Amino acid sequence: MPVKRPKCLSTRLTADEYAALDALADGQPIGTWAREQLLAISARPATEEMVVSEIVALRTIVVNLQFAHLRGDRLTAEDVQKLIDRADHDKLRRARARLHSSKDGSPS
């Protein structure tokens, strides 16, 4: 039995925009294709946020290790674990801040 979909979402497109999307649909009804694309995007985990958070954490760890090395500090395994824990703790907040500032045109 087909799923009932009582809600409608529509948009206006130029002929060129419609043709481009129709080509991407590759023979599938464009409404079906568009719905699948929108649902796939909404269901996807925040990949950009996750990747940026890992890069931010890695950068934090590397920079702190480099500074410790340049100062001649001898870090214990416990010291390194503390650096990792602190980087992991702050990474999501810092990634969100960077992503937000890049989207509104602010320098990051």
pLDDT for the residue numbered 5: 87
Within the chain, how many helices (H) and strands (E) appear?
A: 4, 0
Buried b (16+ CB within 10 A) or exposed e, 47-79: eeeeebbeebbeebbeebeeeeeeeeeeeeeee
Sign of torsion over alpha carbons 24, 28, 34, 36:
negative
DSSP-assigned letter for residue 104: T
Sketch the domain layout of the chain as residue ranges: 11-44, 47-103
Q: Determine the pLDDT at residue 44.
A: 65
What's the whole-model pTM score? 0.55
pLDDT in tens, the chain (108 residues): 788 989 999 999 999 999 999 999 999 999 999 999 998 887 665 778 889 999 999 999 999 999 999 999 999 999 999 999 999 999 988 888 888 887 676 655
- Please report the pLDDT score of residue 107 as a whole number: 57
Residue type (1 letter), 88: D
What count of residues does the chain have?
Answer: 108
